[in-house]
Amino acid sequence: MLGSSTGALAGHMADTMIGSTTAQPTEEPKVAATMCAVSCDTACSLCPAYNLLCGGLSKSASEQQSLPVASTLHTIPARRLILHPKEWSEFVPIVCSGWAMSSIALPDGRRQIISFLLPGDVVSIGSLIAPLSGHTVEAITEVTYRKFKRDELKELLFGRSDLLERLFKLWNEAKSRADQLALDLGRRRADERIARLILRLSEKVARRSTVRTQTFDFPLRQRHIADATGLTPVHVSKILGELQRAGMIEIGGRTLTILNAAELQRVADWR
């Protein structure tokens, strides 16, 4: 395990990213976008968007190489905006690789992170219907994502009852996450909130991997966890230190290992 002192943990989790801690405005990706059709392979089949946009469109492997929905591929560095809350857009972005976050901010800059976005996630379910998402979507790591034209997606989805059913499932899952977030912020203790966040992220990563392991990428900083759980960075450091000293988790570099899942679930009131 890492050193048991809170100070050491704070040093590890400190916000030492290059440049300012404020997200940079939306800008054109450094890697130019290229037009392409959706393509499917073994890795893509693990993506939650696969059944909605790729695997659900054609049963023929040869046909899947040229699907009716075109997209543009973009790559941006960490801490750049993928989507601005007031940006009018005709596109629906879907994360292909990397970590991003969706948040809502107050005028004074305080924010609430609504969700962490991993490969396969639509950056905003609302963007499938409306041109304004109302959410700020920021890259945590370097992120590659595809942008699909909303009108083309809507025509495709609403023309297929099976795909529409999958879309409703995505909406239902998003509502369930919002309900759980409200419950966590309103009624749960600090240690419960952080333990539940770790378990949710572990499950989310596991669904996107063919390898089952208790160690997963964890590029989050104190400020990310604080803004997701309604706590201060100092409080986050304290709780993470306690979880590590109790032998439940280990944080090293940019990875997190769950050492005692049963005890972590007990702390999280995980049912």
Note down pLDDT in tens along the chain; length 271 residues. Answer: 333 334 443 444 444 333 334 455 544 444 433 333 333 344 455 565 655 665 555 444 444 444 567 788 899 999 999 988 888 888 889 998 899 999 999 999 899 999 999 988 888 887 888 888 788 999 999 999 988 888 888 888 888 887 788 888 888 888 888 899 999 999 999 999 999 999 999 998 888 775 567 899 999 999 999 999 999 999 999 999 999 999 999 999 899 999 999 999 999 998 7
31-177: which CATH topology?
A: Jelly Rolls (2.60.120)
Pick the CATH number of 6-17+189-268 from 3.90.1170.50, 3.30.499.10, 1.10.10.10, 3.30.565.10: 1.10.10.10
Rounded CA-CA distance 70/151 in Å is 11
Reduced DSSP (H G I as helix, E B as strand, rest coil) percent helix, strand, coil of the chain, to 5? 40, 25, 40
Torsion, Cα of 171, 172, 175, 179 (10° steps): -170
Residue 111, Cβ density class (10 Å: 0-12 exposed, 13-18 middle, ≥19 buried): middle
Q: Which residue has the tokens 């809350």?
A: 85
pTM, entire model = 0.77
Determine the pLDDT at residue 41: 41
Query: What angle do the packed helices 222-229 and 190-207 form, to 10 degrees?
Result: 110
Determine the pLDDT at residue 51: 57
**Radius of gyration of the chain, Cα coordinates, nearest whole angstrom:** 19
Determine the pLDDT at residue 87: 82
Domain regions of the chain by residue span? 6-17+189-268, 31-177
